[in-house]
Amino acid sequence: MGIEHAVICPGSRSAPLVFAFTQNKNIRCHSAIDERSAAFMALGMAQQLMKPVVLISTSGTACLNFFPAIAEAFYQKIPLLILSADRPPELLNQQDGQMIMQKGVFGKHVLGSHELLCFEEDKIDYKLTERIVRNAIEETSSSSGIGPVHINVPLREPLYDLMANMVLPRLTINQEPKLEDAATPLPFLDILSKVWPTCKKKLILIGQMPPSKDLSKYLNSFMNLDDVVVLTDVVSNQHEVGNIPYFDSILQFGSDQDLESLQPDLVLSFGGQFVSKAMKNWLKKQKPTYHFRLQTEADLVDTYVNVTHFIHAEVMPYLDAFHSLRIFKNPIHKPYLEEWKFAQTKAKNALTSYCQKEIWSEPIAVKKVLNYIPENSQLQLANSSIVRWVSWMSAPKKALHIFGNRGTSGIDGSISTAIGSAKIQIHKTVTLLTGDLSLFYDQHGFWQSKLPINLRVIVFNNGEGNIFNWIDGPSQHPEQLEYFTTPTQLSVQILAQQYGLKYLHGNNLADLPHLMHNFYQESKVPVILELKFEKEMNLQGISEFRNLKL
């Protein structure tokens, strides 16, 4: 169809698109980090060529950053073909990471909006795919007008396996969950209260939520029941009432035999999504007899595809009514909590042993830094690897509110979010843990006249969006790695000078106590601490962490 150039922004969900374009010798691929800049670069290329240039993004908010350039292309009548990778449609609004409503997202600012069908491996219709793509390309430069056209591309995992004969796992269709009339004030409370005493392995899942002392009061009554395990996400702001803080490491590093006894027969879930991918994968394999999902949203969130009863109600009044029934007693046999605690002891010992190593690497540095976060302060977590390290290492058991942009899980906006929070929480220290890429991506957040002096930023600088060097998939394809990683030579110190921030720097474990002491001293300006990692040693430490065995 005459297309010769593609501008590719880094990401993981877009891997099949990366392979498709980089392996086509007739197309010249360009890598650009910032989606907003990438889109304008593609616009400039198409402006000169006056034929379509392809623009590729990963899933989530990434493609939204194309919008300014798309609007410009629309009104300037410049042909662009936007390909946005997406997650499978069944995951939409199911609290899956980097998932927004991408279909038709550019509205009236594109000449056409299309979506490829998300086929299973043995049902792919190549002719249909070709027809959609061909029509879209023709729309960019038709007799009725010239401009941008969008194709949304939902893709199922695995994303990196290039074997032509690979068979994808089939989706299992579960029975529709029961739903009582929305006018019922306390749906299924009678059923929940009836089956609760009969189930010996009960799991309470608390996803992302704002802090609530009242909620903590109710949840505290579950902590010491032998047949109840309370798992709290790193940004649930209920980690003080979670009785298995190392659950993410248990599910990530535990053997199948270890995890077999942890299967629940009753699940009660509420709140937003969980950071832990290991937990999502594990729970999707479980088929509990009962899964009560408690939420205020009208559309059911069934992240693990095993909800049996949809409770459309406010969390606090419902738990209050449930708690008032006083049906909570310790079981006589099979203490479920002890099984989890046994696994947790193994996980904690493995992590403790690992963190005693003298390896200057991100996971060890994150664990040590968490110990210095002040009580009664706030912790903001950037996405990508940072929030994962904290989830695996467990949030510290202290009075600490923890937040992160986990609604769509994009890397954009973490600096600005932390600054906004610090402007409101003027009597609290607000600490942001971020990678270098997230920092530079949102550096314009510092571009304002009055920055909050209670803001503290710790930058884990691995120099290139290091997560793609160690997650499964990208690291196995070095020839395409530059399109996944984002190497940069930008200086954190110069950024700090430019925006008037106090700058500290560290590159070893020995200096960390002294640095953290100075970092939290009073200052008339925000403070930024750069922890710099040498690539090979960092990857060695990460590799040892990823290969932990319980």
Q: Give the domains, in start order, of the chain with CATH numbers.
A: 5-154 (3.40.50.970), 178-340 (3.40.50.1220), 357-546 (3.40.50.970)
| pLDDT exceeds 90 at position 107 | yes
Residue pLDDT, tens place only, 431-478: 999 999 899 988 988 998 889 999 999 999 987 665 666 566 666 676
CB–CB of 309/191 below 8 Å? yes
> What are 525's two structure tokens?
């300006």
Spatial strand order in the sheet of 28-31: 28-31, 5-8, 53-57, 80-86, 148-154, 112-115
Out of 13-17, 92-96, 351-355, 485-489, least confident range: 485-489
Query: Phi-psi bin for 303: left (phi > 0), alpha (psi -120 to 50), beta?
Result: alpha
Other CB atoms closer than 10 Å to residue 320's CB: what's the count? 15
Average confidence score pLDDT of the chain: 89
CA pseudo-torsion sign 86, 91, 93, 96: negative
The pLDDT value recorded for residue 465 is: 60
Give the Cα separation of 49 and 60 in Å (integer): 29
CB–CB of 360/507 below 8 Å? yes
The pLDDT value recorded for residue 468 is: 61
Segment 176-191 shows an average pLDDT of 75
Q: What Rg value do the Cα atoms of the chain yield, rounded?
A: 25
The pLDDT value recorded for residue 121 is: 66
Other CB atoms closer than 10 Å to residue 521's CB: what's the count? 8
The pLDDT value recorded for residue 160 is: 75
Res. 125 pLDDT band, cuts 50 70 90: confident
The pLDDT value recorded for residue 127 is: 82
| pLDDT exceeds 90 at position 379 | yes
The pLDDT value recorded for residue 14 is: 92
The pLDDT value recorded for residue 181 is: 57
The DSSP element (H or E) to which 381 belongs, if any, is strand 377-381
The angle subtended at Cα 95 by Cα 91 and Cα 98, nearest 5°, is 80
Give backbone dihedrals phi and psi of 54, rounded to 5 degrees, phi first: -85, 140
The pLDDT value recorded for residue 174 is: 53
> What are 368's two structure tokens?
């040590």
Q: Spell out the residues 6+ positions from residue 333 whose beta carbon is closer than 8 angstroms to its own.
A: 200
The pLDDT value recorded for residue 284 is: 93
CA pseudo-torsion sign 39, 40, 46, 49: negative
Give how far Cα 409 sits from Cα of 280, 373, 392, Å: 15, 23, 17
CA pseudo-torsion sign 40, 43, 48, 54: positive
Strands 377-381 and 400-404 come out as parallel
The pLDDT value recorded for residue 525 is: 97
Residue pLDDT, tens place only, 43-72: 989 988 889 999 999 999 999 999 999 999
Residue pLDDT, tens place only, 152-176: 999 988 777 654 444 434 434 456 6
Decide which of 405 and 252 is more confident.
Answer: 252
Q: What is the DSSP letter of 77?
A: T
The pLDDT value recorded for residue 345 is: 96
3-state helix/strand/coil string of 116-138: CCCCCHHHCCHHHHHHHHHHHHH
Segment 228-232 shows an average pLDDT of 96
Residue type, 280: K
CB–CB of 419/445 below 8 Å? yes
Q: What is the DSSP letter of 486?
A: -
Give the Cα separation of 343 and 219 in Å (integer): 22
Out of 87-101, 239-253, 286-300, 518-532, least confident range: 87-101
The pLDDT value recorded for residue 173 is: 45
Segment 203-208 shows an average pLDDT of 96
CB–CB of 436/459 below 8 Å? yes
Segment 465-492 shows an average pLDDT of 70
Q: What percent of the chain has pLDDT over 90?
A: 63
| Residue entry with tokens 């003027």 | 426
Give the Cα separation of 409 and 62 in Å (integer): 10
| pLDDT exceeds 80 at position 97 | no
The pLDDT value recorded for residue 48 is: 84
The answer to whether the predicted template modeling score (pTM) of the entire model surpasses 0.85 is no
Residue pLDDT, tens place only, 318-341: 999 998 887 877 666 668 999 999
Give the Cα separation of 65 and 57 in Å (integer): 9
